[in-house]
Amino acid sequence: MEKTFLMVKPDGVQRNLVGEMVSRFERKGFKLVGAKLMQMSDDMAKTHYDEHQDKPFYGELVEFITSGPVFAMVWEGENVIAIARDMMGKTNPLEAAPGTIRGDYGMTVGKNIIHGSDSPESAEKEINLFFQDNEIKTYSKQDSEWIY
């Protein structure tokens, strides 16, 4: 089954949105297979955001994501990568539709609450960057036959 990496950013943690973020993906029907509250190192942040290293906001991005704890998660489900991105909404909260996470909670592009992998390749890279194999759990859930 497909997996994606999602992360509540430091603003989401500070604004008490960890529970709400977990709840949204749980209620949708996805399965939580890994999660931890952690502080990203400078090196880790640079690796995570290496695709943006030539952008003018790269320094700000690394500084912000390392400014406080983040809540890193791995979620599993059919088409979870694309569906989670839809649930997050557009990158800039000003353009994100109401009902999406960024539409409901975000105000600025820098502090947009949540990160989500944008492709199978980035999901694999990000899951491996944040989690050891033994931190990802394989289990069946009793509700799966009611979801699929």
List residues binding ligand GTP (CB under 6 A).
57, 60-61, 91, 109-110, 112, 115-116, 118
- Token pair listed for 77: 């489900």
Please confirm, yes or no, whether 52 is among the known catalytic residues.
no
What is d(CA 105, CA 102) in angstroms, rounded to the nearest whole number?
Answer: 5
Output the residue with the shortest Cβ distance to ligand GTP.
Answer: 91
Distances (CA, A) of 118 to 4, 51, 70, 92: 9, 12, 19, 15
- Nearest approach in angstroms of CB 7 to Mg ion is 11
Nearer to ligand GTP, 95 or 143 (CB): 95
Residue 2 contact, options ligand GTP, Mg ion, none, Cβ 5-8 Å cut-off depending on partner type:
none
Output the residue with the shortest Cβ distance to Mg ion.
Answer: 118
- Token pair listed for 75: 């979620």
Query: Per residue in 9-24, is it b (16+ CB within 10 Å) or e — as a string?
Result: bbbbbeeebbeebbeb
92 is in an annotated binding site: no
Q: Residues with catalytic annotation?
A: 115
Residues at the binding site for ATP are 9, 57, 85, 91, 102, 112
